[in-house]
Structure 1
Amino acid sequence: MSIDDDVISAEQHRRRADQPSTPAPGTSDRIHSLRLRSVRLPLPTPISDAKVLTGRQRPMTEVAMLFAEVTTTDGITGLGFSYSKRAGGPAQFAHAREVAPVLIGEDPNDIARLWTKLVWAGASVGRSGASTQAIAAIDNALYDVKAKRAGLSLAKLLGAHRESVRCYNTSGGFLHTPIEGVLENASASLARGIGGIKLKVGQPDPAIDLARVAAVREHVGAGVPLMVDANQQWDRATALRVGRTLEEFDLVWIEEPLDAYDVTGHARLAAALDTPVASGEMLTSVREHVELITAGAVDTIQPDAPRIGGITQFMKLLVLADEAGLALAPHFAMELHVHLAATYPSEPWVEHFEWLEPLFEERIEIVEGRMVVPNRPGIGLTLSDKVPGWTVGDVTIDE
């Protein structure tokens, strides 16, 4: 049996895509229209991680969002989104606009088949990267439709294991923030009820990283979960040397110590360190994550549903991660990942970023170190009245 659509034969894909949609008994609903919006969300402060300090990227000033709204003939509208940082937003919008017309008139319940149909509509640009990130927004919207039809939250529709998930804050620990500010942010996060703190590392001088980690550990105390994230900026020798020095701080994990595609290096590092190794956020397909899993390259896997093609692909990956006995900590997009993490059999982590909050009317409740899974139907999000002012592209595709 295949573990991913990536490895299904071309002929199987064509047969699936060409099969007519037959409604289930008593179901006559069809996709009537899709609205796609390209939105540029400005960030209050330019953001720098190790990739900026090593000269590989410029500070981040905005997040490019792709919103998909799928409306059915029964009058149900589902909202989904994808995103990109620094580059890729226009490409996602253009690709979604090009392939979305193939869904008009289709049964919105057939989400897996429709994912395959969208992939084949744009097959020449592949099954990862911007193409499947564009599909992710539509895929997520279809799940929102299905959950709303059932009157269930997304987590309940998929099968939840818990009503809340552990959470940790990342946005307060970036490298552009002086250590005094990082300590203040950590205190504020813990006071808000967030359960852990993640600190960015990976600077050209590891001594600075170690001093910052020591300061944060002393400030928050031994009992607070603490993670670090090098954003792929260490070579193998540096990762091993710094990783061994970091053992004394009792970290939950060391994240992206090496290039995201250095599977062999991650496997060797994971075997050499007591501290768990985490990675996966930069990967854009299930197949790439399978390479990490097969090689034993991570202890904690960090998939991003918008990046790997949406909920359809994410749920495939969760089965593989669970079978491998991995911990789960989805990357970014807490508004979506709080639902998906709640379906994982073992206790996961969800990353707290407040960056996307201005886009939505709703807020996630945080209590005693945990995010409460929203019980509103679907993903449970409504776009705020600020979104039109940040919209740079808007198209509706209908019958």
Structure 2
Amino acid sequence: MNYTPDAIRHVKFSTARLPLATPISDAKVFTGRQKPMTEVAFLFAEITTEQGHEGLGFSYSKRGGGPAQFAHVKEIGETIIGEDPNDIAKLYTKLLWAGASVGRSGVATQALAAIDNALYDLKSKRAGLPLAKFLGAHRDSVRTYNTSGGFLNASIEEVKDRATQSIEEGIGGIKIKVGLPDSKEDLRRVAAVREHIGPDVPLMVDANQQWDRATALRMGRRLEEFDLVWIEEPLDAYDAEGHAQLAAALDTPIATGEMLASVAEHERLIEARACDIIQPDAPRVGGITQFMRLATLADQAGLDLAPHFAMEIHLHLAATYPREPWVEHFDWLDPLFNERLETQGGRMLLPNRPGLGFSLSDQARAWTTETVEFGKA
């Protein structure tokens, strides 16, 4: 059967604010750098073609940045009308140049990510395949760990209870936040969780960039006894040299990368050997097109992979990585979608639905604050 050319007929962008049931705090709050997080802003892209194919993609911003992403797509979104939706790399470049004055990272590419992700959703739906199968999967499930129960605003008893619940729900690992001004309290919390879950359950900690180099090295050595899977973001996200020194000095693997907003910024991490586990975020680096570029570089460097947040996208991408990865489990986004991901035996299962496998819920529509449309509805 010959290929029949298609064209993008209509695109709708919307921004919505998802309220969190409980304001959450990591070390950035306890060190006075930020206020507790109460909501997450989302940018959705819904694309329809002349042949009736549809794609849904999203990007997001925690705290500030959501309105800026929406403003950017309002300016450049019309660029893709009339284009063949299958030419994803070409469209990414076209959109990038349409907004070139504001650069190739940060808000500019995070806004493009919603479009890029929607195009991949559309293309894999057209093929009748889950996105991971469309790209080429290495596995049908991925190791998963829970973060949402380990924030610093929760008492240690609450953290332990949530860890038990996560394990019972089929989630394999537990990550808790550290980086408090009182490092002794950090160690007490880690020790309590390790004792609670036992020696065989994978345990990770995340300092959210709050330590200086000396503190990170000292804490890293103290944390060795807990047999951690990794120490995450012990230093400023852009301190590649400092992370490299820690990675060389400690037995516990170093993980970082979630805050970086381009492939180029991750390349510096890779070249500096600044981590053992790289943690890119597809919506932050510009979408699936850029994530796949980055994954190739990470694999060539022998790094393990643990994408940040957005499990609805990252499950598919992690399933395509040659090395056994981890995916972060957050249930925060559940109200936005009609479908759910399944966990079993410590792993997250790849859905058999075509594309990303998600559709927007009525609640997501109700939380929408602004929309803009281009083309013929």
The Cα offsets for residues 189-210 of structure 1, whole Å up to 9 and x where unpaired, read as: 0011100000100011110000
2:5 alignment partner, one of 19, 23, 28: 28
Residue aligning to 2:238:
261
Q: Which amino acid aligns with 1:396?
A: E
1:382 alignment partner, one of 359, 367, 372: 359
SS at match of 2:33: coil
Distance across 2 between alignment mates of 1:317 and 1:27:
32
Shift of 1:25: 5.7
The Cα offsets for residues 351-381 of structure 1, whole Å up to 9 and x where unpaired, read as: 0000001000100011100000111010000
For residues 121-140 of structure 1, the aligned pairs below 5 Å read 121-140=98-117
Residue 148 (structure 1) aligned with residue 129 (structure 2): no
Distance across 2 between alignment mates of 1:270 and 1:258:
12
Task: Give the TM-score, by structure 2 length.
Answer: 0.99
1:303 alignment partner, one of 260, 269, 280: 280
Residue 324 (structure 1) aligned with residue 288 (structure 2): no
SS at match of 2:149: helix
2:147 alignment partner, one of 170, 177, 185: 170
Q: Which amino acid aligns with 2:111?
A: A
Residue aligning to 2:162:
185
Residue aligning to 2:208:
231
The Cα offsets for residues 316-366 of structure 1, whole Å up to 9 and x where unpaired, read as: 001000000000000000011000000000100000000001000100011
Shift of 1:26: 2.7
Shift of 1:395: 1.2
For residues 9-48 of structure 1, the aligned pairs below 5 Å read 26-48=3-25
Distance across 1 between alignment mates of 2:6 and 2:101:
31
Residue aligning to 1:62:
39
Distance across 2 between alignment mates of 1:131 and 1:353:
25
Distance across 1 between alignment mates of 2:103 and 2:149:
36
Residue 275 (structure 1) aligned with residue 252 (structure 2): yes
Residue 213 (structure 1) aligned with residue 190 (structure 2): yes
Task: Give the TM-score, by structure 1 length.
Answer: 0.93
For residues 236-251 of structure 1, the aligned pairs below 5 Å read 236-251=213-228
| Identical residues among aligned pairs (%) | 71
Question: Considering only aligned residues, what root-mean-square deviation do their CA atoms show, in Å?
Answer: 0.9
Q: Which amino acid aligns with 1:46?
A: P
Q: Which runs of 5+ in 1 are unaligned?
A: 1-23
SS at match of 1:171: coil
Residue 364 (structure 1) aligned with residue 316 (structure 2): no
Distance across 1 between alignment mates of 2:207 and 2:60:
22
Residue 99 (structure 1) aligned with residue 82 (structure 2): no
Q: Which amino acid aligns with 1:388?
A: R
Q: Which runs of 5+ in 2 are unaligned?
A: none
Shift of 1:177: 0.1
1:49 alignment partner, one of 26, 29, 35: 26
Distance across 2 between alignment mates of 1:341 and 1:28:
31
Q: Which amino acid aligns with 2:211?
A: W
Residue aligning to 1:334:
311
The Cα offsets for residues 28-58 of structure 1, whole Å up to 9 and x where unpaired, read as: 2100011000000000000100000000000
Q: Which amino acid aligns with 2:204?
A: M
How many residues end up aligned between the 2 structures?
Answer: 376
Distance across 1 between alignment mates of 2:294 and 2:172:
26
Distance across 2 between alignment mates of 1:61 and 1:383:
21
Q: Which amino acid aligns with 1:49?
A: D
Distance across 2 between alignment mates of 1:110 and 1:395:
23
Residue aligning to 1:198:
175
Q: Which amino acid aligns with 1:93?
A: F
Q: Which amino acid aligns with 1:247?
A: E
Residue aligning to 1:392:
369
Shift of 1:27: 2.2
Distance across 2 between alignment mates of 1:25 and 1:382:
30
Distance across 2 between alignment mates of 1:179 and 1:26:
58
SS at match of 1:312: helix
Q: Which amino acid aligns with 2:102?
A: V
SS at match of 2:369: strand
1:112 alignment partner, one of 62, 83, 89: 89
